[in-house]
Structure 1
Amino acid sequence: MPLSHEHQVTLLKDILTNHQSDCCGSVAECEQLERLVKSLMVNAQVDQNVKTILQEVYQYGQHGAQTADLDQHILSNQENLSQWVSDIGQFS
């Protein structure tokens, strides 16, 4: 059974929050972010303001999955992670 868009947003925020608080993550989490964003981008129920943020999250996930130093990638995006979680929370 597929996740509802509300559950997808919650999962997305959980991964971003974990990256922000732990300053580390896995390639699998970055790939999961990409899949979640793709699914949410085609969902008409998702607020257009969230879709703008999702574009940034998708790029973050892509770079994270491809980087040689994922922890440094996460560390250098700490401010973005915090902002994305906050912004997504406002619109969802």
Structure 2
Amino acid sequence: MLQTLFTCIGWLGVIFCTLGYFLLSIKVLTAESRIFQLLNIVGGLCLVTIALESNDLPNAVANLLWMFIGLYALGRQLKNQRNPSKK
């Protein structure tokens, strides 16, 4: 039961990250899009979860970095939205 849950979380991560990249590639989303960043953040978190569960530390670190890049980009976007003169 628990293994099935982790597997589903892993597949959701693959779907979110791939969907974000696909939508970016076909120009439905831009790199500045909040949806793109959220897909990367949530997808990365899901992939970190399954990587840690399976003790795959290099994969966990790679996806943590992916997730934090998304968080950083989203944070900058929100900050610039509140203070447009400080871009």
Shift of 1:27: 0.8
Structure 2 gap ranges (5+) = 78-87
Instruction: Find the residue that maps to 2:35 and give its secondary structure.
Output: helix
Task: State the TM-score, normalizing by the size of structure 2.
Answer: 0.52
Shift of 1:61: 0.6
Shift of 1:30: 0.9
Shift of 1:17: 4.6
2:30 is aligned, of 20, 24, 27, to: 24
Structure 1 gap ranges (5+) = 69-92
Instruction: Find the residue that maps to 1:24 and give its secondary structure.
Output: coil
Correspondence for 2:85: none
Higher CA-based Rg: 2
The superposition leaves residues 25-68 of structure 1 with CA deviations (integer Å, 9 ceiling, x where unpaired) of 41122123222222332221473322121122112211221224
- The equivalences for 1:1-92 within 5 A come to 4=8, 5-19=10-24, 21=25, 22=27, 24-25=30-31, 26-43=33-50, 44-45=53-54, 47-68=56-77
How many corresponding residue pairs? Answer: 66
Runs of 4+ in structure 1 deviating by more than 4 angstroms, as ranges, are none
Q: Which has the higher helix share?
A: 2
Between the two proteins, what is the percent identity of the paired residues?
9
Contact preservation (8 Å) 1:30, 1:62: yes
Contact preservation (8 Å) 2:17, 2:40: yes
Considering Cα pairs closer than 8 Å and 6+ residues apart, tell me whether 1 or 2 has the greater RCO: 1
